């Protein structure tokens, strides 16, 4: 009886110890431990996997009520101003995707009750591509896109 308990304790502490070692060795980066940040979605290399990870689905409808404002030609891909706005009501999420980037999901915004469906920011674009805005209304996704021509890529390299 005493032996059995001792064995369990030992096993437990060994298991805990190995997690600690993994963290110390950099096998588990602290990034993966952060619960709020959706690493799977943001590190995903394709748009549909990113959307599924972030919003639970990639089934979206193109809707002209979603307005994406971005320049036609961005001389500097490191700073591309993007504004997303919609006349649709009850929007809970807005996501901005640069479809040509290595990791396309750039930003997501969870809107509180008082927020209007409007966000404006500046993003990096690696090459000429569509900037896609996805908004979530209830459990439906609506999107629209704007092509931005990038003359100098902004993702380094």
Phi, psi angle pair for 23, to nearest 5°: -65, -45
CA-based nearest residue to 149, from 132, 125, 133: 125
Length of the chain equals 157
Q: Which residue has the tokens 């980066």?
A: 29
Does residue number 51 form part of the binding site for another protein (CB under 8 A)? Answer: no
At its nearest, how many Å lie between another protein and the CB of residue 137?
17
CA 2, CA 66: separation in Å to the nearest integer? 67
At its nearest, how many Å lie between another protein and the CB of residue 100?
11
Does residue number 31 form part of the binding site for another protein (CB under 8 A)? Answer: yes
At its nearest, how many Å lie between another protein and the CB of residue 45?
12
The one among 103, 127, 128, 145 contacting another protein by CB under 8 A: 103
Does residue number 111 form part of the binding site for another protein (CB under 8 A)? Answer: yes
- How many Å is the Cα radius of gyration of the chain? 21
Residue 60 or 125: which CB sits closer to another protein? Answer: 125
Distances from the Cα of 150 to the Cα of 12, 21, 22, 41, angstroms: 54, 44, 41, 25
The one among 91, 124, 135, 141 contacting another protein by CB under 8 A: 124
Please name every residue paired with 134 in a beta bridge, in sequence order, or none if there are none: 95, 143
The one among 88, 109, 127, 146 contacting another protein by CB under 8 A: 109
Token pair for 4: 């059995």
Residue 34 or 73: which CB sits closer to another protein? Answer: 34
Q: Which residues of this chain interact with another protein, rule CB under 8 A?
A: 30-31, 34, 36-38, 42-43, 78-81, 83, 98, 101-103, 105-116, 118-124, 154-157
């Amino acid at each position: 009886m005493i032996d059995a308990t001792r064995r369990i304790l030992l096993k437990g502490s060994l298991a805990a110890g190995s997690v600690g070692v993994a963290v110390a060795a950099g096998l588990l980066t602290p990034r993966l431990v952060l619960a709020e940040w959706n690493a799977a979605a943001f590190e995903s290399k394709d748009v549909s996997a990113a959307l599924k990870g972030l919003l639970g689905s990639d089934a979206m409808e193109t809707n002209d009520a979603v307005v994406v404002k971005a320049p036609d030609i961005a001389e500097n891909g490191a700073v591309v101003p993007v504004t997303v706005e919609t006349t649709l009501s009850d929007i809970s999420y807005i996501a901005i995707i640069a479809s040509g980037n290595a990791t396309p999901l750039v930003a997501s915004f969870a809107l509180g009750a008082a927020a209007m469906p409007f966000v404006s920011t500046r993003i990096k674009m690696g090459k000429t591509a569509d900037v896609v805005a996805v908004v979530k209304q209830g459990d439906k996704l609506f999107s629209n896109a704007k092509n931005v021509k990038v003359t100098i890529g902004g993702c380094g390299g």
